[in-house]
Amino acid sequence: MKIYEYNKLTEKEISLLLKRPAIDLDSTFKIVKPILKEIKEQGLKKVYEYAEKFDGLIDNNIRVTSEEFDDSSRQLKQEKKDAINAAAENIKRFHEKQLPKNYSIETQPGVICSREFRAIENVGLYIPGGTAVLPSTVLMLGIPANLAGCLRIIACSPAKEKIDPAVLYAARVAGIDEFYKVGGAQAIAMMAYGNEEISKVDKIFGPGNQFVTAAKILVNSDPDGCLVDMPAGPSEVLIIADKYADASFIASDLLSQAEHGKDSQVILLADDKKLIDDVLKEIDVQKEYLPRKEYVEQCLNSSYALLINSISDGIIFSNKYAPEHLILNVDQAESYVDKIINAGSVFIGAYSPESAGDYASGTNHSLPTYGYAKSIGGVSVEMFMKAITFQNLTKSGLEKISQTVIQLAETEKLLAHANAIRVRLK
């Protein structure tokens, strides 16, 4: 990790530290667009071709069978099932509180307006499966979709022949029984456009690599496609620490994020130079025991530590960066919470590691990256729903509001709008 001193940086140098590495979407689009076009036009045949080409699929049936679901439960050790069940329960408890409330109000006598929520009927969940098995993502997406009341929930994940038992068991726990062995851009195209056997969905959720991200952006802008949850870049964590923090704790948090992949972003802001030095020593010790050491080292080569003047300076920097994950490993961490404006998920205090939120604390780990935390939050129950407004006017209510509507309509020279009021008052 590179080390910088906040005091010695120019404004331009600070702004460069706030930037994420550029993602070359143009070249990715050139690869992804033909895939989407062919699947849109030729359907399931092309899905199979690309699944075989990119994922090595050898199964001639991409839909997971009920027998495969049953086998996953038998193959998985009980301690793994217990962990998935416990995490699912916490996720459910937290997300149940997100169910939005309907309301009705009489804005003036005889004019009643209301707002009611309805579930999105068909949703698609993308579960990455390239370099890691992610049953936690199945829970994070499937549980809120079920709580919202979505009628049909389908999931896709890449596989050569079988989906990992932990992923299928998590799908059963989350209430998903329609699961396909397809990954990458071809999975996004299949869900967005549908085909002769698989109906399209109305919205796609879930993280993925650059090809998945590009495919989501493209189907989101295609009238024949569907909406998506959010664009997503590589995973990231920013840690703010003071001299009281334990260097081994911080090193473990940085490494837990770095092992996601070489493109992950890990940043340490600390007000004590000795702490930074101790953290770097701890990283060297701890990384030797990690099976994904190669990914870790590639990530750390493009990451940095920043020596700051104060924790308040760290908060200001963090709000500008808008990290996916923010860890406050400082004394009296709770006192800084109100100052956090931009972050996907915040971990408060020395005993709140990011991995707790990734798996089992209850909050969602599908979060905005690449600075999108400035304008959007993580996946929630509400994202699987949409609000519909209603209005019910009595004749006397229409009479009372009539002149307001007529005057505004005439101001905008939309006389048919005004006439729709007048004909009812005659």
Active site residues: 324-325
Give the CA distances from residue 144 to residues 9, 130, 153, 379, 380, in Å, rounded to whole numbers and listed in that order. 44, 24, 11, 8, 6
Residue 65 CB neighbours (<10 A):
10
List all residues 6 or more positions away from 161 whose beta carbon is below 8 Å from its beta carbon: 57, 58, 59, 181
Spell 90-105 as b/e; 16+ CB within 10 A means b: bbbebbeebeeeeeee
SS in 3 state form for 174-203? CCCCEEECCCHHHHHHHHHHCCCCCCCCCE
Exposed/middle/buried for residue 405 (C-beta within 10 Å: 0-12, 13-18, 19+): middle
Relative to beta strand 111-119, strand 103-108 is antiparallel
Distance CA 187, CA 157 (A): 8
CA angle 39, 40, 43 (to 5 degrees): 55
Q: What is the DSSP string of 84-145?
A: HHHHHHHHHHHHHTTPPPPEEEEEETTEEEEEEEEE-SEEEEE---SSS--HHHHHHHHHHH
Residue 16 CB neighbours (<10 A):
10
User: Smallest Cα–Cα separation from 265: which of 240, 223, 237?
Assistant: 237
